Structure 1
Amino acid sequence: MRKFVSAVAIAVGVAAGGLAPTAAQAASAAPAVLWASSVEEELGRIQVGVSADAGVASIKIHVISPATEQEVAVVDSFHLVNGTEQNGWWQADDAVILPELGAYRLDSEIIDADGVHVEQRSVGFLAYMVKMFFKDLKVTRTVSYDKRKVTASGRLMGRWPGTGDVKPVENFPIEFVTWYGNPADGVSGKVGHFALTTEVQYADEAGYLTTLWDDSRRFHLQAYADTQAPEVRLADTRITADLDRDTVINGEQVTLTGELSWKTPQEWRPMPDAPVYVSYCDTRDYCTLLGATSTDGQGRYQVTVSPFWGGTLRVSTYNPDPFVTTVTHVDKQVVVLDRTQFTDFFGERSAGGQVWLHGHLQFLNNSTPGQMPVDIQFSKDGTAGWHTVSSFDISYNPTNPEGYSFEAFLDEPGPGYWRATYAGSVTSFQSAVSAVVFVD
């Protein structure tokens, strides 16, 4: 990417930078021109900064040719535009009309209200130059997967110093640059018209348009314009996902299968060799990667993962092509139940004739429910007719390495079979059934 600025223009800018005098200059008793330059909006008109303790009586600026060192114009009619007569910014009433473009040296004569006359050499420069600019600039507003070219068109114009005439600038080198693409070079044609085309490489690719250096027209100042990034119409992608089961016990695996495709300018087609990621995402949409794979030649994939919590499994893909939708995903819900088990269960007839039952219920994944309802069930033959005889919550019962302990004394005169059950939770905890015991 190239950007050229005339060295003369830089020099003029430096001269114009001293709009305020230094403390030492302001304290000087003699009048002085502190700086002199062209007016930015009208390069053929002179402006000066003047310090004069007694006030300004007259200002005279001599315009000196850089080629001959001869005086080519004198300007002696100024008006105050800012500040005071003791320390002010003055502009010439009229622009200078000169036969040739160039950077002209400015010498000065100043007389203050006390009649003190001071002459100064080289107080600044007159940038008698053409100020170029782009007119009717148009840039391609949208691009897509199969239409990535961007064209900048318009007219190159120039404002001439002195007269202020605005005219087309023909046959001048111009360059159109996108930040990551190749520059497009050309020249302005008839009536300054130009059209430069380049190809966008990235989705958010802004750029600029600039004139280049032309040694035969050194006093044509650079035209420059930033260009906005065109809107990118991304090609759509889609991904499907199927779970082999939607409820698992903690530690078990699930397998996801599906297809990945993208919409070409003509039709939907499989996306081969594309990455596929499976993540667990919590309610805050914070995701943890569980597994990854790639699609086959037909855009199909299969990946097996072990979800550690119930919730959202997100299947996603990433496409590096900036003209294809970057991230596509589909969510599937899975229930993960924490493991539970009865570690033991015993029963016997007490001396008083009651059935005494006791055991332990264990939660294996370091989490427990708020309530732990246990049902004690009875069956005469141990295979059919199971019915609940007693129910109780054991969440406040003592615990040991075997789990939460429980016991029950029940009135049942006849022999039969006993078991304990825990219903679990459809979203959090596995159900459990104890061993079956016979009590005579």
Structure 2
Amino acid sequence: MANRRAVKGMASAFIAGGVVLGGATAAHANTGISVQYAQNDAVNNGKLDLSLAAPTAVSNVKVSLYSMTTQQTVATVTNFELTSGTTTNGVWEPKTRIQLPSLGSYRIDVSATDAGGDTLSTTGAGYFYYSVRTNLNDSTVDRTTVDYQHRSITMSGHLMGQWPSSGAVTPLEGLTVGVSSYFQYGEATTAADGSWSVTLPVTDQYQNTIQASFSYDQNHPFDSQSSSRLIPITIKKTATKLVMTPSVRTIPFQGTVNSTSATLLWDSPTGWAPLAGKNLGSNSFGNYVQETTDLNGNALFPATPSLWSDYTIQAGWVSDDLYLADAQASSTITVVQPAAFASFTPTRTDASTVSVAGDLAFSGLETPGTIPVDIQFSTSGKGGWTTVATVPNSSWDGTGYGFSATVPSTTAGYWRATFADGRQFQTAVSSVVYLPAS
């Protein structure tokens, strides 16, 4: 040690005199032993970790634990072993659990030497918290899925503590365990066996986890805080349905649906049952309309506005119960578009031929993609109409959708044209025209 200090002194003298020593002497200058950290071990609550850096191998480590309560050194620990790193930069840990007279906070005073003769003696290198490590490891719940009949969750378990002196795990009695689930919170006091139980209602869609915790207790400051695992919660909604029945499902152009009834039901344990006193809403009746269901789950909506094209009546119920699903329903109304013959003219061109021509008009919002016209003949004009020709498609001629055909005929009788296109357009029949034989 004296030789090292002498060399160091000589190096300083040479530098002061303007002479720079070679790298070897400067690089091996003694920097002493230092404490990198001194703290509780992360795994074992009865041990501490001491990180030391030294110029040469650390050969001796001693820790004195000083009580902040009694202002006295209560224990000296010397049985350290290197647990990670190297002897010049490593972490040291006692081989056995430290034995102290009581739980509490203890100042860590460190003494150490290395192989080169450096020494360290420092107070307050860190603090050792001699505490009970609590756990809620066995926390469990009676269910993870809540539904209409089961709207709460009971969480239970045991609050256990590991003692720093022995590592023994024992129940902790008379302490408070809190259980939280979103905005819901409850507490229980542990029994002699450490057991506890808390029941919380599930009342919010965001209440999707539940967790127990032991928080700081001023009466037991050296019982560490702990929490259980987060347990997921699933909210199962019961099915509902809305059945809509309009007074009519097919109306003429610019007609109205005079009323629409709706029935709200839920899938009860005994089958589909009405939901009374619920507000159904719809934008399908001019303005936004709300109607309230009666004891049978029924509500009646007013007439629709005049409808010019096919229309969908929609209504819905936004559930006011976390455990009942929303319900929606719709019903399509077919609006029959108007169709009429603007003109129809049959003409006998010779003794055996009749030429027909005319126009169809569609005064609504829509026109068929294909417009077939049947040419029909009857000897009496009062029945027995026979289709004698079909024009497959009428075309726009500037006035209407024109059609024409030439029909072989030598008989006197009555002529007309018809148009039929199913549900979407009205059936149209032209005027009846009589033509004599040649």
TM bin, normalised by shorter chain, reads 0.7 to 0.9
Which structure 2 residues correspond to residues 288-327 of structure 1 after superposition, within 5 A?
A: 293-303=291-301, 304-305=303-304, 316-323=316-323, 325-327=324-326
Say if 2:129 is the partner of 1:127: yes
- Report the counterpart of residue 421 of structure 2 in structure 1: 424
- Report the counterpart of residue 358 of structure 2 in structure 1: 358
Say if 2:434 is the partner of 1:435: no
With structure 1 as the length reference, what TM-score do the two structures score?
Answer: 0.75
Please give the per-residue CA displacement for 1:81-125, whole angstroms capped at 9, x wherever unaligned. 444445444433222111111122223334445333233432322
Q: 1:253 to 1:29 in 2, by over 3 A?
A: farther
Which structure 2 residues correspond to residues 47-62 of structure 1 after superposition, within 5 A?
A: 47-52=49-54, 54-62=56-64
Please give the per-residue CA displacement for 1:169-216, whole angstroms capped at 9, x wherever unaligned. 1111222233233x3233112122222334332366333322244322
- In structure 2, distance between residues paired with 1:379 and 1:90: 117
User: Are 1:44 and 1:126, in contact at CA under 8 Å, matched by a contact in 2?
Assistant: no
Aligned-partner residue type, residue 132 of structure 1 = T
Q: 1:420 to 1:33 in 2, by over 3 A?
A: farther
Please identify the structure whose Cα radius of gyration is greater: 2
Q: 1:81 to 1:143 in 2, by over 3 A?
A: same
Q: Decide which moves more: 155-164 or 336-345.
A: 336-345
User: Are 1:378 and 1:418, in contact at CA under 8 Å, matched by a contact in 2?
Assistant: yes
- Report the counterpart of residue 406 of structure 1 in structure 2: 403
Q: 1:380 to 1:404 in 2, by over 3 A?
A: same
Please give the per-residue CA displacement for 1:196-240, whole angstroms capped at 9, x wherever unaligned. 334332366333322244322111112322553555565554544
Q: 1:346 to 1:267 in 2, by over 3 A?
A: closer
> 1:217 aligns to what SS in structure 2?
coil
- In structure 1, distance between residues paired with 2:376 and 2:418: 8
User: Are 2:336 and 2:426, in contact at CA under 8 Å, matched by a contact in 1?
Assistant: no
User: Are 1:347 and 1:437, in contact at CA under 8 Å, matched by a contact in 2?
Assistant: no
- In structure 2, distance between residues paired with 1:316 and 1:385: 52
> 2:46 aligns to what SS in structure 1?
strand
User: Are 2:355 and 2:404, in contact at CA under 8 Å, matched by a contact in 1?
Assistant: no
- Report the counterpart of residue 181 of structure 2 in structure 1: 178
- Report the counterpart of residue 225 of structure 1 in structure 2: 228
Please give the per-residue CA displacement for 1:365-397, whole angstroms capped at 9, x wherever unaligned. 34643x3322222333433122222223326x3
> 1:44 aligns to what SS in structure 2?
coil
Superposition deviation, residue 355 in structure 1:
2.5
Which structure 2 residues correspond to residues 132-211 of structure 1 after superposition, within 5 A?
A: 132-141=134-143, 143-145=146-148, 147-181=150-184, 183-202=185-204, 205=207, 206-211=209-214
The equivalent position to 1:346 in structure 2, one of 320, 339, 344, is 344
Aligned-partner residue type, residue 322 of structure 1 = L
Q: 1:308 to 1:209 in 2, by over 3 A?
A: farther
Superposition deviation, residue 347 in structure 1:
0.6
- Report the counterpart of residue 65 of structure 2 in structure 1: 63
Superposition deviation, residue 161 in structure 1:
1.0
Q: 1:367 to 1:359 in 2, by over 3 A?
A: closer
* Backbone CA RMSD of aligned residues: 3.7
User: Are 1:376 and 1:418, in contact at CA under 8 Å, matched by a contact in 2?
Assistant: yes
Superposition deviation, residue 130 in structure 1:
0.8
Superposition deviation, residue 60 in structure 1:
3.2
Please give the per-residue CA displacement for 1:302-340, whole angstroms capped at 9, x wherever unaligned. 2355788769866543321113x22235565x4625514
> 1:191 aligns to what SS in structure 2?
coil
Aligned-partner residue type, residue 337 of structure 2 = R
User: Are 1:151 and 1:196, in contact at CA under 8 Å, matched by a contact in 2?
Assistant: yes
With structure 2 as the length reference, what TM-score do the two structures score?
Answer: 0.76
Q: 1:166 to 1:389 in 2, by over 3 A?
A: same
User: Are 1:376 and 1:389, in contact at CA under 8 Å, matched by a contact in 2?
Assistant: yes
Name the structure, 1 or 2, with higher relative contact order (CA <8 Å, separation 6+): 1
User: Are 1:349 and 1:439, in contact at CA under 8 Å, matched by a contact in 2?
Assistant: no
- In structure 1, distance between residues paired with 2:222 and 2:245: 70
Aligned-partner residue type, residue 100 of structure 1 = S
Q: How many residues align?
A: 397
Unaligned runs of 5+ in 1: 1-27, 281-288
Unaligned runs of 5+ in 2: 1-29
- Report the counterpart of residue 107 of structure 2 in structure 1: 105
- In structure 2, distance between residues paired with 1:92 and 1:81: 9
